[in-house]
Amino acid sequence: MTASRDIACRVRGFGAYTPVDVLTNFDLEKFVETTDEWITTRTGIKQRHRLAEGQNASDAATEAARLALADAGMEPGEITHVINATCTPDYLCPNTACLVEAKLGIMGAMAFDFNAACSGYVYGLSMARAIVAAQPDARVLLTATEALTRRLNWADRTTCVLFGDGAGASVITADGEGALLEDVLCASDGNLGGLLTIGGGTHTPYAKGDPVGEDFFVQMNGRDVFKHAVRNMAAISQDVLARNGLTTDDVALLIPHQANLRIIEAVGDRLGVPAERVFVNLHEFGNTSAASVPLAIADARAKGVLRPGMRVLLATFGGGFTWGAALLHF
């Protein structure tokens, strides 16, 4: 249990961005051996958004950040830290947070990326809380952005139908108005990392001119990921509730990682949260990895599903494996 739990931590602004280009299941039918019926019944996904040529994860993050800053009533120059979650950065170096910082016209803030795959935003809340605990005047911009469609093997129907691009952002401070971060809990199991991989790192020593192999793209053992996702998202949600003396009866809305409707339903069942208290928008966006939870928060607010006074439980799971849960009181 960390000391930073005792420090007030406010999530003051939320923003989300998805690219204009939409790829429906029917669009996919034209070049992937699949059907709208298969994708809909197995995953719940109907469409996903795709970054335009020349548009990158940093651009999506910058758009989301602008909206989050406006929502918080803050200027970019007030930000002291930019922390960015992604597993599909623009480059291995420079980091995407520095690119976002430059695009926002911020100078001198501490800026770095971290990779917790789909758990990135919840991991980011944990880091932001630690930063404001150590430095109470910190103004942390947390972005979570993905360009997953750039790392899909369109010849692999078991993965390419699942993912989309997008970004979400929040501003976190120790003071001010905003959702209270009541608690956040993160976990991992590196022994299972091989079940969900995206290449492009230095593990494969490519020489100039070499064609990329299948390892360059998203590769996943879907069935195993499914089982671990359900088990761990439910367990860590129960843990974060229990250590705060709460049950799911105290939660107005569950916002889970938007990977697969069947995973979401199974997590809701295990936690005993009825479907009307579980937010789902994956039919519109597919799995946007780190961006999925902040995108869902912004969407739930915009749709009036998430309202002031509500306690929200966030639950997530991703490659690594990583997983986490957080309690936000709006």
Catalytic residues: 118, 257, 287
Residue identified by tokens 């990682």 is 257
> What string marks each residue from 246 to 285 as x (binds ligand ACO by CB under 6 A) or -?
-------------xx--x----------------------
Asked whether the beta carbons of 269 and 292 are under 8 A apart, the reply is no
CB burial readout 80-117, b (16+ within 10 A) else e: bbbbbbbbbbbeeeebbbbbbbebbebeebebebbbbb
Q: How far apart are CA 247 and CA 268, in angstroms?
A: 13
Q: Which amino acid is at 285?
A: F
Indicate if the alpha-carbon torsion angle 229, 230, 231, 236 is positive or negative.
positive
Minimum distance from residue 317 beta carbon to ligand ACO (Å): 6
Query: Which of residues 42, 150, 231, 277 is near ligand ACO by CB under 6 A?
Result: 42
| Under rule CB under 6 A, residue 118 binds ligand ACO | yes
Minimum distance from residue 232 beta carbon to ligand ACO (Å): 11
Closer residue to ligand ACO in complex, CB, 28/127: 28
- Specify the DSSP element, H or E, that contains 236: helix 222-242
Asked whether the beta carbons of 97 and 143 are under 8 A apart, the reply is yes
Minimum distance from residue 42 beta carbon to ligand ACO (Å): 4
Q: How far apart are CA 30 and CA 154, in angstroms?
A: 12
How many residues of this chain bind ligand ACO (CB under 6 A)?
25
Query: Which of residues 34, 80, 135, 248 is near ligand ACO by CB under 6 A?
Result: 34
User: What letter would DSSP give residue 270?
Assistant: H
Query: Which of residues 64, 318, 322, 326 is near ligand ACO by CB under 6 A?
Result: 318
| Under rule CB under 6 A, residue 223 binds ligand ACO | yes
> What string marks each residue from 55 to 74 as x (binds ligand ACO by CB under 6 A) or -?
--------------------
Closer residue to ligand ACO in complex, CB, 126/260: 260
What does the angle CA 51 – CA 96 – CA 43 come to, to the nearest 5 degrees?
Answer: 45
Indicate if the alpha-carbon torsion angle 98, 101, 107, 111 is positive or negative.
negative
> What string marks each residue from 132 to 161 as x (binds ligand ACO by CB under 6 A) or -?
-------------------------xx--x
For residues 160-189, which are near ligand ACO according to CB under 6 A? 161
CB-based contacts of 207, cutoff 8 Å, min separation 6: none
Minimum distance from residue 147 beta carbon to ligand ACO (Å): 14
**Contact region with ligand ACO (CB under 6 A), list: 74-82, 102-110, 123-131, 216-224:** 216-224
Q: How far apart are CA 267 and CA 282, in angstroms?
A: 15
Q: Which residues bind ligand ACO (CB under 6 A)?
A: 34, 38-39, 42-43, 117-118, 157-158, 161, 196, 220, 222-223, 225-226, 229, 259-260, 263, 287, 289, 317-319
